[in-house]
Amino acid sequence: MREAKKTRKTFETEVEVTVSLDGSKEVEIETGIGFFDHMLTLFASHGRFGLLVKANGDLEVDGHHTVEDVGIVIGQLVKEALGDKEQINRYGTAYVPMDEALGFVSLDISGRPYLVFDAELTNQKLGNFDTELVREFLQAFSTHAGITLHTRVLYGINTHHKIEAIFKALGKAFGEAIKINPEIKGINSTKGLIE
């Protein structure tokens, strides 16, 4: 069963996360940042994996540490849960529309962290969430999971819709990439290893 959990505590945040790629599909997110909870719920639900997140961060400063640290821990646990990555598709790509906005994500569970982020988010704040933190989350997640992650909002007007399209596409692409494919013998790499 591909599952991992941990608690990470610093002077800025305390983050408790469980990632379950095969077992429970339960999703429960509580970070103190409503919009971020909404996005993580979309990510896990559309990725068809279980995700429990409880974060208690220094929101009196702003949401930065909380969002970044949740991204770090989810990334670390995804990497741990995937183990040697045997028989996974490895790649996932998705376009997802959200009303007038179109989001795109293409990712490779390559062991090589890289983020390409191309989205114009005009509204700077959604509730107590700073929209520039979308990039921070994806950077932390891709770095610690070892994922090459490209995302783009092709067009759109409403910032909430644009970000929602990104997170839904992230879920769909990730769900595809982690899926066990019986046609793949061993590791899906001509090198024979994905670190």
Q: What is the DSSP letter of 11?
A: S
Q: Which is nearer to Mn ion, 36 or 141 (CB)?
A: 36
Report the residue number, 49 or 129, with the smaller CB distance to Mn ion: 129
Sort strands 50-57 and 27-30 into parallel, antiparallel or unpaired: parallel
Smallest gap, in angstroms, from Cβ of residue 163 to Mn ion?
A: 9
Closest CB 33 distance from Mn ion, rounded Å:
14
Task: Decide: helix, strand or coil at residue 42.
Answer: helix
Binding residues for Mn ion, total number by CB under 5 A? 1
3-state SS record for 99-113:
CCEEEEEEEECCCCC
Q: Is the Cβ of residue 2 or residue 168 nearer to Mn ion in the bound state?
A: 168
Which CB atom, from 21 or from 126, has the smaller least distance to Mn ion?
126
Region of 89-97, 126-134, 160-168, 169-177 interacting with Mn ion (CB under 5 A): 160-168
Pairing of strands 125-126, 148-155: unpaired
- Helix or strand or coil: residue 64? helix
Stretch that binds Mn ion, among 62-70, 103-111, 157-165, 182-190 (CB under 5 A): 157-165
Nearest residue (CB) to Mn ion, 69 versus 164: 164
CA distances from 70 to 138, 141, 156, 182 (A): 10, 8, 27, 32
As a whole number of angstroms, the distance between CA 145 and CA 170 comes to 14
Residue nearest to Mn ion (CB): 164
Cβ of residue 143: shortest distance to Mn ion, in angstroms? 26
Q: Which of residues 88-127 bind Mn ion (CB under 5 A)?
A: none
CA distance 95 to 92: 11
User: Mapping DSSP to helix (H, G, I), strand (E, B) and coil, where does residue 181 land?
Assistant: coil
CB of 67 to Mn ion, least distance (A): 17
Minimum Å distance from CB 158 to Mn ion? Answer: 10
Contacts with Mn ion, residue ranges (CB under 5 A):
164
